[in-house]
Structure 1
Amino acid sequence: MTRTKTYAALLRGINVGGNRKVPMAELRTLIEGLGHLGVRTYLQSGQAVFTTPHGDEDSLAAELTEAVENHFGFRVDLLVRDHAYFRAIVDACPFPAADLEPRQLHVTYYSTPVDETRFSDLDRTAFLPEDFRLGDRALYLYAPEGLGRSKLAETLSKPRHTKNLIATTRNWNTALKLTELTAP
């Protein structure tokens, strides 16, 4: 019997302001066409959950990246992660998530591990009360006024902090939902 595993693909920068449109129904059909099962999408901002008996995070990300580019005609950076990863991210949150509004807490998922040296040029005290902490291929951002008003989020997304990385940010509600949707 072949064992299957459930993953979520996080597509970066789609369906924002009418640009780089990726209809979720088409994305589901595309992923199903690759032989993956139980394909579901969450919101319009690029989360697709699927089950598959083959591949790993990196090979699935490469496969989906190529398929999306071939189908939609533009390249989309994306990450693929499994339930264990999402569960660990939620469990390791260094901020009091239960005491915060979900709009105040975000997770930036990275393609590879990052360390503090990437952010050594930041005067973190200049952004207080905003703050961030690093996790496993992730950055947790506390932005009390929300992401749209966050000066720290704006600074963290600059190319010098994301060079040679795929980075995509989700709010805490989405982080929790991805954990739920990928559960075995």
Structure 2
Amino acid sequence: MKQIALLRGINVGGHRKVAMPALKQAFEALGLSDVQTYIQSGNVVFGGEADRADLEAAIERAFGFPVPVILRSAGEWQHLIMDNPYPEQAAADGSKVHLTLLGAEPTEAGLDALRAIDSGADEWTRRGSVLYLYTPNGLGQSKLNPDKLGVLTTTRNWRTVIKLAEMAGVATS
């Protein structure tokens, strides 16, 4: 079974540096197969069974600092692609649609904090443990901040979402 692991907060501004070859080795040391990394933001596709705690422990052993991980199966990944409420925008420009995965259920207060943001032209839709963002002026210009939810989050643009699906052998349409 293929799984997709997303690491949060690595290789940002020269902090919490994680080399992708060493990350691949840490996953392989757990007995995982077909380990592939994608870009430097901590995206890993692999075969085999692993849970979040095992992955986080292996990463901390390898790099000396804790790194939160959000884990989804290939089947879950396919579902979140099919559930995208912004398919036309994603097809037009995958850098304007983002997927924020939630590590836990947000509280109503957290959702209210996100709703209270004057986000201008930006839109967001929550579907289960996923927040879909459409930022027509780019995420860097957006006032939307999923961290307001008060739970572990990690965000990837739609291009990355599709690339990870392809790496995992998941249909994207």
Whether the TM-score (by the shorter chain) exceeds 0.5 is: yes
- The answer to whether residue 98 in structure 2 is matched with residue 118 in structure 1 is no
- State the identity as a percent: 36
- The answer to whether residue 166 in structure 2 is matched with residue 174 in structure 1 is no
Describe the shift of the 1:35–1:99 C-alpha distance in structure 2 as closer, same or farther (beyond 3 A). Answer: closer
Q: Whole-Å Cα distance in 2 between the matches of residues 48 and 135 of structure 1?
A: 23
Describe the shift of the 1:183–1:144 C-alpha distance in structure 2 as closer, same or farther (beyond 3 A). Answer: same
How far is the alpha carbon of 1:47 from its aligned partner?
0.5
Could you tell me the TM-score, scaled by structure 1's length? 0.84
- The answer to whether residue 122 in structure 2 is matched with residue 137 in structure 1 is no
Aligned to 1:84: 75
Aligned match for 1:28, one of 3, 9, 24: 24
How far is the alpha carbon of 1:127 from its aligned partner?
1.7
The letter for the 1-side match of 2:134 is Y
Q: Whole-Å Cα distance in 2 between the matches of residues 98 and 148 of structure 1?
A: 17
How far is the alpha carbon of 1:120 from its aligned partner?
1.9
SS in 2 for 1:49: strand
Aligned to 1:157: 147
Could you tell me the TM-score, scaled by structure 2's length? 0.89
Q: Contact 2:90 / 2:96 at 8 angstroms: preserved in 1?
A: no
Q: Contact 1:114 / 1:134 at 8 angstroms: preserved in 2?
A: no
How far is the alpha carbon of 1:152 from its aligned partner?
1.7
- Calculate the aligned-residue CA RMSD, in Å: 1.8
Q: Contact 1:89 / 1:136 at 8 angstroms: preserved in 2?
A: no
For structure 1, the 5+ residue unaligned runs are: none
**What is the aligned residue count?**
168
Aligned match for 1:108, one of 100, 103, 118: 100
Describe the shift of the 1:98–1:13 C-alpha distance in structure 2 as closer, same or farther (beyond 3 A). Answer: closer
The letter for the 1-side match of 2:116 is D
Describe the shift of the 1:150–1:22 C-alpha distance in structure 2 as closer, same or farther (beyond 3 A). Answer: same
SS in 2 for 1:44: coil
How far is the alpha carbon of 1:113 from its aligned partner?
3.7
For structure 2, the 5+ residue unaligned runs are: none
